[in-house]
Amino acid sequence: METTLRNKIQSLASKYPRAESVLLPAIALVQESSPGRYASRADLAEISAMLGLPTGRAFAVQTYYSMFNQGPVGKYHLQVDTNIPATLMGAGEIVEHLKKTLGIKVGETTPDGMFTLSAVEDLGSCGTCPVIQVNNRYYENVTPEMADKLIASLRKGKYPNLPTETNFRSECNILLKRRGMTGSTSILTYLRDGGYKTLRKALDKKPEEIVAEVKHSMVRGRGGAGFPAGVKWGFLPKNGSKPIYLICNADEGEPGTFKDRQIMEFDPHLLIEGMTIAGYGIGSKLGFIYIRGEFSWIADILERAIEEAREKHFLGADILGKGVEFDIIVHRGAGAYVCGEETALIESLEGKRGNPRLKPPFPAIAGLYGCPTIVNNVETLSCVPFIIDQGGEAFRKFGTTNNFGPKIFGISGHVNKPGVYEYQLGTQLTTLLEAAGGVKGKLKAVIAGGLSVPILKATEVADLKMDYDSCLKHGTMLGSGGIIVMNDSVSIPHIALRTIQFYAHESCGQCTPCRDGSRAIAVLLKRVVDGKAESGDLDKVLWLCSKIKGATLCPTGSAFAIPIDAMITKFRSEFEAFVK
């Protein structure tokens, strides 16, 4: 290992409370610097020695995360998102076009070692699919013609600049307020627009007043669970001797979800201010942003913004001369859907495989390094500046009873303007679809909150309000607010198969019902769509779903059992048409 790279890893390790946390970033750095874009066994042994870990630990981590290559790949690794939103928006055509253009199959490398082609799971670009990730760079809204330009430029050794058009709209002017503003990532822009004034205001209050205001606002967790943030903060032990950590969950791996990247990519200081206020309120001196590894350019944006905030004394050992200490580390994941679950995320942040923990104890009692820890979503923490500045009561003027505040909805699939739309909770789904330019063709079905929630037929959504309680009354969940729209050209059995293939791939393997159940369902549904199923196979799938729900350490088992059950139950005739 070159001295420069070794020094970089050691410098990174010095920033963490424990050096073991740097295992994932260290493997990523070595992989990126390697000609074959992978970390060899010798590399893993050297990294382990530097961090004081057994080599087996590094090998276990490398083989767990999908972003870590197990062997050499081409100079340009072309990874095409083929999950459901991407498939609905033409990803299959792009894969076939690349196969023909490069003369290779998926999983192969061109004879000259220039290109490797891979089909991958959700890349968090659902509103701008099809998307190709080339090494650490995204190309979105890709057409066959655009793919040709990309390949031609890469052959010349140059990453081309291929602009992407995106759709967004803000009716609340809170979370996407600066989305279209020039220089929105700069601290100077943020300060001119009133940024960090709320932090000054917060530091003049007592920490318990911050918690009380957030609790009064009744802001519910925007990551999917909808648990009130202020109540979660209240679970922290009082007057404990251990440090308290704040973790921002920016893993955003749920298919259909691409809202959090909008804040981090275009308004990073909003998140930083929200985290700093939250950190002060809960008594934390150190926070982490756990961002999915694929978002490398967004992680760079966040790190620059954090450095700007330090220079202006909005972060550090003595914030604004008030004697308050808080700092933030951006921690890059390495590709694992399960790490969206808070205890799996914590395990990953500790430099381990992202296996969920048995609860209790909950993270508020024993989280990162066994210390009290609060894990909140990007969008949740980004609501905090408004709540503290305007008050919880003002926040409650948005939304409906028990469902307060603004919400970013990501709309993908068969709409004319896929993108992100900030509306208050309780907005009619039909209003959101109109904002997204309307449905392409005849509406058949909607997945309202990311792939893990039950599907709804077109006849069920006419009066659906997009909030937690209304979705439950309609037999689904708001989840992350990732709305996947499907017209009548879609085969629901094929959607079900692709759904279970995703979860079978992403299962951490720790729980038998999830590990083996997902694979069994995948086999059965593949037989269905191949026309080889027997009459009892659909009932076998439903039986498996009934046994898997609620039987796993984390929600992943239910995350596929519930939607698969709904797809078969609501569209059974479509499935039966495939059965002998």
Give the pLDDT confidence score for residue 580 in this predicted structure.
72
**In this predicted structure, what is the pLDDT of residue 164?**
87
Helices (H), 422-532: 429-435, 468-473, 492-506, 512-529
CA-to-CA distance for 366 and 372, rounded, in angstroms?
A: 5
For the domain covering 400-487, report its CATH number: 3.10.20.600
Instruction: Return the half-sphere exposure (C-beta side, CA atoms, 13 A cut-off) of residue 488.
Output: 5
Per-residue pLDDT, 191: 98
Same fold, 76-155 and 169-397: no
CATH number of 76-155: 3.40.30.10
Domain 492-576 indexed as CATH 1.20.1440.230: yes
Which pLDDT does position 62 carry in this prediction? 97
First to last CA, the chain: 59
Coil, helix or strand for 102?
helix
- What is the H or E stretch that residue 380 is in? helix 378-390
Q: What is the mean pLDDT of each run of 10 residues along the chain (580 residues)?
A: 94 97 98 94 96 97 96 97 96 98 98 97 95 97 97 97 93 95 97 97 97 97 92 94 97 95 97 98 98 97 98 98 98 96 98 96 97 98 98 97 97 98 98 98 97 97 96 96 98 97 96 96 97 94 96 94 98 93
What local confidence, expressed as pLDDT, does residue 242 receive?
A: 97
- Rounded Cα gap, residues 475 and 561, in angstroms: 14
CA distances to 130, 347, 372, 531 from 369, in Å: 39, 9, 9, 51
> How far is residue 265 CA from its own chain's centroid?
13
CA distances in angstroms from 205 to 264, 282, 320, 388, 491, listed in the order given: 27, 13, 14, 10, 56
Name 116's bridge partners: 77, 109
Q: For residue 467, what is the DSSP state?
A: S
Tell me the residue type at 442. K
Q: What is the 3-state secondary structure (H, E, C) of 302-345?
A: HHHHHHHHHHCCCCEEEECCCCEEEEEEEEECCCCHHHHCHHHH
Contact (Cβ atoms closer than 8 angstroms) between residue 478 and residue 465: no
Taking the CA atoms of residue 125, residue 128, residue 129 and residue 131 in that order, the dihedral angle to the nearest 10 degrees is: -70
Instruction: Give me the amino acid identity at 314.
Output: F
Long-range contacts of 317-322 (CB under 8 A, 24+ apart): 319/199, 319/203, 319/276, 320/199, 320/200, 320/203, 322/203
Q: What is the CATH number of domain 169-397?
A: 3.40.50.11540
What's 385-448 look like in SS3?
A: HHHHHHCHHHHCCCEECCEECEEEEEEEECECCCEEEEEECCEEHHHHHHHCCCECCCEEEEEC
Domain-by-domain residue ranges, the chain?
A: 3-62, 76-155, 169-397, 400-487, 492-576
Helix (H, G, I), strand (E, B) or coil at 51: helix
Cis before 130 (ω within 30): yes
In this prediction, residue 141 carries a pLDDT of 97
pLDDT of residue 422: 98
